[in-house]
Amino acid sequence: MNNQEVISALKGKLVISCQALPGEPLYTEAGGIMPLMAYAAELAGASGIRCNSVRDINEIRAKVKLPTIGIIKQDYLDSPIYITPTFEEVSALVQTGTEIIALDYTDRIHPNNVKREELFHQIKQAYPNQLLMADISNFSEAKAAVEIGFDFVGTTLNGYVGDEKTEGPNFDLVSRIVNELDCRCIAEGRIHEPSQARKMLEIGAFAVVVGGAITRPLEIATRFIKEINKDR
């Protein structure tokens, strides 16, 4: 797929996040589980897969024909940023062929005291044709991402970084981004019901990413148990 074909494939559609980290029930050292999740998503009609790590991305791309949003979650001692935090992770992702690379674009310093703008320019200089998605937590970060030239802006980190907290999806943030900024806004975060995903598209989101409500059985089961045990 070329970049325009990727953009067209995702417009108005559902992207399913298929991720498992060490310590989680679906993670194995051998791999092989996330590509099966991605295959199930493809059979269901998903239009893209968000996935983490070079291994999982390569396995998923070998299993399905959907475009991928690739990330590498990596912890560093000198920064709280862990979603594709440095140029090193970006370069590794480029080698996988993932169609879109997502990275943290919150207003925080990246590892090695690198500013977010510096990292963006470094990426664009090295890989000018690579589609990039900014994972943001609030409107000002979305605005900064649009102004610098990201191809997509995702509300991935809203409610997890900073003070903005909502129990469910942040429809207000997505609506404001869509109405005040000229960008492709990908709605992501705490979308647990099909009706919520549909509403995000109705208010103007370019696409919707859902993960925990579909591909994390521990999280899904916990919500059921919590509701059943409420007030008992």
The predicted pLDDT at position 205 comes to: 99
- H/E element holding 9? helix 3-10
The predicted pLDDT at position 232 comes to: 80
How far is 41 from 137, CA to CA, in rounded Å? 26
- Provide the number of structural domains found in the chain: 1
How far is 222 from 224, CA to CA, in rounded Å? 5
- H/E element holding 184? none
**Residue 206 backbone dihedrals phi, psi, to 5 degrees:** -70, -40
Quote the pTM value: 0.97
The predicted pLDDT at position 19 comes to: 98
Q: What is the pLDDT along the chain (232 residues), one digit of tens a residue?
A: 999 999 999 999 999 999 999 999 999 999 999 999 999 999 999 999 999 999 999 999 999 999 999 999 999 999 999 999 999 999 999 999 999 999 999 999 999 999 999 999 999 999 999 999 999 999 999 999 999 999 999 999 999 998 777 778 999 999 999 999 999 999 999 999 999 999 999 999 999 999 999 999 999 999 999 999 988 8
Contact, 203 vs 172, CB < 8 A? no
The predicted pLDDT at position 84 comes to: 99
The predicted pLDDT at position 162 comes to: 81
The predicted pLDDT at position 45 comes to: 99
Residue 128 sits in a domain whose CATH number is 3.20.20.70
The predicted pLDDT at position 166 comes to: 74
Show the domain range for 73. Answer: 3-228
How far is 169 from 167, CA to CA, in rounded Å? 7
How far is 95 from 211, CA to CA, in rounded Å? 24
